[in-house]
A and B are shown apart, each in its own frame.
Chain A
């Protein structure tokens, strides 16, 4: 009986090993199952999800206008002081003083891409961009000014 057990043990072990080998062999002979994405080569076809959080951007329309009122809600919402909103006072046509955006400083190197600033923005002025290739040679280039030079706030955004 001992011999029988001994042999059946060996047979069972061999079978379990063979099942595993069958699986790896199965994939070995089927090159179509390969899932590798050849990243820098597939850049043209690579499409990130719409909601992917790659960086904070401020969209400008064709008249070089944005929607930021300079309310600093994003600055307050940011957990790591990534955003610094510098405001100035502009004169409206009615000769009233009005707070407006001067510079929107964005430190990409400190950003954790949590999306809280976009969530907090009351006028939808900032968005999450899909760009994820952020590597640079000089760290100082990661401090960005989001509003384009000469841009103005869009009409009707309060």
Chain B
């Protein structure tokens, strides 16, 4: 199987031959930081463009089509506009927290990037508690939103932030429980182990109906955790104008905007890793010929393909459904998702113990 180990190893060897180990670490870190930021920028531009195109075609429109072929440079132009805009801070706002909040949200999104395996042997940090790390860090982004809502000194922002708090705290539960099903099946918290465990088939195919249910619950919870419609109560355009980022403009708004899309990418990447095998190609039992063809497709394409499929699914939700009300949102979690996922976890544990899965 094609692997990126060769590249990363050769870079490390080349550096080790010339520099002391401290400098190697520093330079490698710098490379990673540059790559991460480049990935962020690229993802932001692509995802925003993608969202606008998906929305447009679902709404029988064309979407951006003036700047570059099919309007792909539209988002770059928008970003440029946002950079040039004045970054206003309201008079009554808590200046420090107001300016701090976008960075909290952004830093959390960046931290989440660490344990994700983008391709075979291409991972920033192969931490052995990867899944735990992700569920721990991802719940921090709500702090940024709460800070933003509180510091804005705006009632809409405050209401939006409070909604967001209630929402993320409760949806964290079912997201965590559906992640646990895979952990139970794999027996490991490490991302690489989870991917390797799906070499002979992805969990969604191997794990019978309970894993499919867990997958659906995960997608719902992921949509809610990223504050996307139909769970976009924190910004609820028609109710709270823009919710927690009502008062933000210019680059500070752009950071929130970017973080939202990065978060979508990350939750979808996690979903793809856990349920759809990450970078693992699609293998069918003992069709060696077929499996061989599949192996020729680079692992990074597998990973991004699956991730973008999930992203498309979340976008599809957004452009089809109306928004839930705040109490219905919590009803859905506590009355439906949580009991179902608890029961589901029980079933999966049974499957894992009895070794019923393929």
Chain A interface (Cβ < 8 Å from any Cβ of B): 10, 17, 20-21, 23-25, 27-28, 31, 33-36, 38
Contacts and interface: CB of A to CB of B under 8 A. Distances in A.
Main secondary structure of the interface of A (DSSP, over half): helix
Contact of B320 (A10, A24, A35): A24
14 contacts: A17-B321, A20-B321, A21-B317, A24-B316, A24-B320, A25-B58, A27-B58, A28-B58, A33-B60, A34-B60, A34-B61, A34-B62, A35-B60, A38-B65
Interface residues of B, number: 15
B57 interface: yes
Contacts, number: 37
B319 A24 contact: yes
B43 interface: no
B320 A31 contact: no
A21 B60 contact: no
B336 A27 contact: no
Contacts of B57: 27-28, 31, 34
B79 to A, nearest CB: 24
B159 to A, nearest CB: 27
B61 A36 contact: yes
A21 B320 contact: yes
B30 to A, nearest CB: 42
Nearest to B312: A28
B54 interface: yes
Given A17-B320, A23-B320, A36-B62, 7 more contacts: A21-B320, A24-B58, A34-B61, A34-B62, A35-B61, A38-B62, A38-B65
Interface string B68-93: 00000000000000000000000000
Contacts of B316: 21, 24-25, 28
B60 A27 contact: yes
Nearest to A20: B320
Interface in B292-326: 316-317, 319-321
Contacts of A36: 60-62
B7 to A, nearest CB: 37
A156 B95 CA distance: 79
Contacts of A34: 57, 60-62
Contacts of A25: 58, 316
Contacts of A31: 57
